[in-house]
Structure 1
Amino acid sequence: ANSMVQKKGTENLKYIFVASEKWHPGVIGVVASRLSVKYDLPVAMISLKDGVAKASCRSIPGVNIFNILKLVENKLIRFGGHDLAAGFIANQEELPYIESFFEKEIQVHEHPNKQTKTLEIDLELPIETIDKDIIQDIKKLGPFGLENRHPYFLDKGVKIVDTKFFGIENRHFNGFLIKNGKSFPLVAFDLSSKLLKSSKNAVYDIVYYPEKIINRGEEFYQFRLKDLKAQKA
Structure 2
Amino acid sequence: MQQKRWTLNETGNKETVQQLSAGLGIHPVLSTLLVHRGIQTFDEAKHFFRPMLEHLHDPFLMGGMEQAIGRIDKAIAHNEKILIYGDYDVDGTTSVALVYSFFSKQYNNLEYYIPDRYLEGYGISTKGIDYAAENGFSLIIALDCGIKSVDKVAYANTLGVDFIICDHHLPADELPAAVALLDPKRPGCDYPYKELSGCGIGFKLIQAYTQVHDIPFEEITCYLDLVAISIACDIVHITGENRVLAYFGLQQINNNPCIGVKALMGVAGKSNGYTISDVVFLLGPRINAAGRIDDAKHAVELLIACHEDDANAKGVLINIKNLERKEHDLSITGDALSMIDNDQLLIDRKSTVVYNEGWHKGVIGIVASRLTEKYYRPTIVLTRSNGHVAGSARSVRGFDLYEALCGCSDLLIQFGGHKYAAGLTMKPENVAAFANRFEEVVSATIPPELLIPEIQIEAELELSQVDPKFFRILQQFAPFGPENMSPVFLSKNVYVRGVAGLVGNQHIKMCVDQPGSPFFEAIAFGQAEHLDNINGGKPFDICYSIEENAWRDKRSIQLNIKGIRFNS
SS of 1:207's partner is: strand
Asked whether the equivalents of residues 157 and 205 of structure 1 are also in contact (C-alpha less than 8 Å), the reply is yes
1:108 positional shift: 2.1
Alignment of 1:54-93 (within 5 A): 54-93=390-429
1:154 positional shift: 0.5
Structure 1 pair 230/51, CA: closer, same or farther in 2 (3 Å)? same
Amino acid at match of 1:161: A
Amino acid at match of 1:162: G
Q: C-alpha separation between the residues in 2 aligned to 1:41 and 1:17?
A: 10
Structure 1 pair 59/123, CA: closer, same or farther in 2 (3 Å)? closer
Q: C-alpha separation between the residues in 1 aligned to 2:348 and 2:382?
A: 22
Given the alignment, which residue of 504, 526, 541 partners 1:205? 541
Task: Please identify, of 71-80 and 110-119, the stretch whose mean Cα deviation from structure 2 is larger.
Answer: 110-119
SS of 2:338's partner is: helix
Structure 1 pair 197/100, CA: closer, same or farther in 2 (3 Å)? same
Structure 1 pair 54/216, CA: closer, same or farther in 2 (3 Å)? farther
Query: In structure 2, what is the equivalent of residue 130 of structure 1?
Result: 466
Query: In structure 2, what is the equivalent of residue 161 of structure 1?
Result: 500
Query: In structure 1, what is the equivalent of residue 145 of structure 2?
Result: none
Deviations 1:147-201 (A, max 9, x none): 45526131423227233248xxx5xx35222437975332345x526x3244572
Structure 1 pair 151/60, CA: closer, same or farther in 2 (3 Å)? closer
Query: In structure 2, what is the equivalent of residue 230 of structure 1?
Result: 566
Asked whether the equivalents of residues 176 and 183 of structure 1 are also in contact (C-alpha less than 8 Å), the reply is no
Amino acid at match of 1:212: E
Structure 1 pair 32/143, CA: closer, same or farther in 2 (3 Å)? closer
Alignment of 1:138-157 (within 5 A): 138-139=474-475, 146-147=482-483, 150=487, 152-157=489-494
Query: In structure 2, what is the equivalent of residue 177 of structure 1?
Result: 511
1:44 equivalenced with 2:380 (yes/no)? yes
1:44 positional shift: 1.0
SS of 2:398's partner is: coil
Q: C-alpha separation between the residues in 1 aligned to 2:437 and 2:405?
A: 9
SS of 1:3's partner is: helix
Query: In structure 1, what is the equivalent of residue 293 of structure 2?
Result: none
1:5 equivalenced with 2:340 (yes/no)? yes
Q: C-alpha separation between the residues in 1 aligned to 2:495 and 2:382?
A: 45
Amino acid at match of 1:132: P
Asked whether the equivalents of residues 508 and 524 of structure 2 are also in contact (C-alpha less than 8 Å), the reply is yes
Structure 1 pair 145/231, CA: closer, same or farther in 2 (3 Å)? same
Asked whether the equivalents of residues 121 and 151 of structure 1 are also in contact (C-alpha less than 8 Å), the reply is yes
Gaps of 5+ in 1: none
Amino acid at match of 1:3: S
| TM-score between both structures, scaled by the size of structure 1 | 0.76
Deviations 1:17-48 (A, max 9, x none): 11112311122222211111111111111112
| TM-score between both structures, scaled by the size of structure 2 | 0.35
Structure 1 pair 57/94, CA: closer, same or farther in 2 (3 Å)? same
For this pair of structures, how many residues does the alignment match? 224
